[in-house]
Amino acid sequence: MAAKFARRLPKGSLIVLEPSKEHYYQPLWTLVGAGVGTVEETRRSEESVLPTNCQWVKDSAKSVLPNENKVITSRGDVINYEYLIIAVGLINDYEKVPGLYPALQDKTSCVSSIFSPDYCEKTFSDMKKHKEGNVVFTYPDTLIKCPGAPQKIVYLAESYFTKTGVRNKSNLIYNTCLPVIFGVPKYAEALLKVVKRKNICVNYRTVLKEVKPDKKEAVFYNKDDPDNDITMDYSMLHVSPPMRTPDFLQNNTCLVDDHGYLEVDMYTLQNQAFPNVFGIGDCINTPNSKTAAAIAAQCYVLEHNILATMKRDEPRERYSGYGACPLLTSYNTCILAEFVYGGVVRETMPFNQARESTVAFYMKKDLFPFIYWHLMLKGYYHGPEGIRRMLHPFRD
């Protein structure tokens, strides 16, 4: 969004409040966790990805005062705004699971997570150490970014253990809080075939409650019977941690819903109480899958609706809820899920994307990172809708 408005606004009109010195392409962390690439390859300096025609304030937000059109930074500085875009994403809430954070910090615990640059390489290190026993994977009872990632790493680990000859001594267990393997029926059906072929045990509505690294035990509960603990021993534990929005946003009760997500119209991405406040990405309360593909589609809508608001016009662009999830099923295959609000399938390619595809794998591994760094961050990519229309001119 900064790149888009840097081309439209006079110099000095655009402020980016961002504390991080580094910027990551997070979707590749799944592959890093499976030994394909390094964290360093997913990283760029923040300065290198920001447009030159903007003022970068290297600080974070402490609070937003929408009635006064002000943002208070952590250092106590005041930033006045005419229009505000909130794009703060989600943070990993490790403390919600007792024992998880110290286990992640301990290099010998065999507990890891692909959801952090600090721990995703540890995932592959743990995979290499594993020789036999339970390998347990989790999906938390919160909204998360990239909701397909918790099961992608299961499939990649299974492929790795098969390659290294320890699969027949390994019991792969995927504990998910969800009642289904995936929210879109077409892709869920395909993924269940993958699960069956790979002989993975899936426990639905099962939530991680505690990690006991000294005993190599993970404690779970089933949402239908929350009072009874389920304890599993593990040789390796991969945790997709609970996630939440940052404190400053959760504490702004006039801007957020009951779960701490920024309230926006699901189509216009505009806050209804404060029309000069907009949101994008993982921190907003739209009922879509939180993925990079979703943000690409939202960028186009947000740009045009903010411009309309600046002209005192009604925002007319509509976000369809588009999201995409490249579901890696091995080291050379992928199911490329694409859908909009309501779980309606909206595929781009001229083949059935529910089938495992090598083409889709290399799109995920090589094409999508290129698009992100060279097109999306520069404000030139809005998702594959134009390509889809060319490939399917008579499809709605």
Q: Please tell me whether residues 133 and 238 are part of one structural domain.
A: yes
pLDDT level of residue 281 (50, 70, 90 thresholds): very high
Q: Please tell me whether residues 102 and 211 are part of one structural domain.
A: yes
Q: Please tell me whether residues 224 and 359 are part of one structural domain.
A: no
The answer to whether the CB of 284 falls within 8 A of the CB of 261 is yes
Q: Please tell me whether residues 114 and 237 are part of one structural domain.
A: yes
Predicted confidence at residue 118, as pLDDT, reads 98
Catalytically active residues are: 146, 325
Helix (H, G, I), strand (E, B) or coil at 28: helix
Q: Please tell me whether residues 228 and 339 are part of one structural domain.
A: no
The answer to whether the CB of 120 falls within 8 A of the CB of 27 is no
Q: Please tell me whether residues 344 and 236 are part of one structural domain.
A: no
pLDDT level of residue 378 (50, 70, 90 thresholds): very high
Any domain includes 155? yes
The answer to whether the CB of 292 falls within 8 A of the CB of 372 is yes
The structure tokens listed for 92 are 């990993």
Any domain includes 306? no
- Whether 395 shows a pLDDT value over 90: the answer reads no
Indicate which CATH number applies to the domain containing 191.
3.50.50.60
pLDDT digits (tens, 9 = 90+) for 113-134: 999 999 999 999 999 999 999 9
Q: Which residues, 6 or more positions from 341, have their beta carbon under 8 angstroms from its beta carbon?
A: 266, 287, 288, 320, 321
Listed residues 195, 216, 243: the one ending a domain = 243
- Whether 396 shows a pLDDT value over 70: the answer reads no
Tell me which residue has tokens 């946003």.
249
The structure tokens listed for 211 are 């990690």
Q: Please tell me whether residues 235 and 326 are part of one structural domain.
A: no
> Quick one: average pLDDT of 357-364?
98
Listed residues 243, 270, 290: the one ending a domain = 243
267 vs 340: CA distance, rounded Å: 12
Q: Please tell me whether residues 225 and 330 are part of one structural domain.
A: no
Q: Please tell me whether residues 98 and 191 are part of one structural domain.
A: yes
Q: Which residues, 6 or more positions from 201, have their beta carbon under 8 angstroms from its beta carbon?
A: 171, 172, 173, 174
User: Could you give the number of structural domains in the chain?
Assistant: 2
241 vs 209: CA distance, rounded Å: 11
- Whether 112 shows a pLDDT value over 80: the answer reads yes
DSSP annotation of 145 reads: B
27 vs 5: CA distance, rounded Å: 25
Tell me which residue has tokens 């002989």.
199
Any domain includes 269? no
Any domain includes 72? no
Which residue range is the domain that position 367 belongs to?
Answer: 322-396
State the CB neighbour count (10 A cutoff) for residue 304: 15
> Quick one: average pLDDT of 49-73?
97
The answer to whether the CB of 384 falls within 8 A of the CB of 348 is yes
pLDDT level of residue 391 (50, 70, 90 thresholds): confident
Strand partners, 24: 43
The structure tokens listed for 46 are 């923040």
Q: Please tell me whether residues 222 and 339 are part of one structural domain.
A: no
pLDDT digits (tens, 9 = 90+) for 309-343: 999 999 999 999 999 999 999 999 999 999 999 99
Any domain includes 135? yes
Any domain includes 335? yes
The structure tokens listed for 302 are 């947000």
Q: Please tell me whether residues 348 and 221 are part of one structural domain.
A: no
Any domain includes 356? yes
- Whether 392 shows a pLDDT value over 90: the answer reads no
- Whether 69 shows a pLDDT value over 90: the answer reads yes
Task: Give, in order, the Cα–Cα distances in Å from 65 to each of 90, 253, 260.
Answer: 21, 11, 16
- Beta strand spans in 9-60 (E): 15-17, 22-24, 43-45, 55-57
Any domain includes 114? yes
Taking alpha carbons only, the member of 325, 345, 344 closest to residue 335 is 325
- Whether 186 shows a pLDDT value over 80: the answer reads yes
9 vs 65: CA distance, rounded Å: 24
Listed residues 243, 262, 288: the one ending a domain = 243
Q: Please tell me whether residues 219 and 342 are part of one structural domain.
A: no
pLDDT digits (tens, 9 = 90+) for 240-259: 999 999 999 999 999 999 99
- 39: Cα separation from own chain's centroid: 16
128: exposed, middle or buried (C-beta count within 10 Å: 0-12, 13-18, 19+)?
exposed
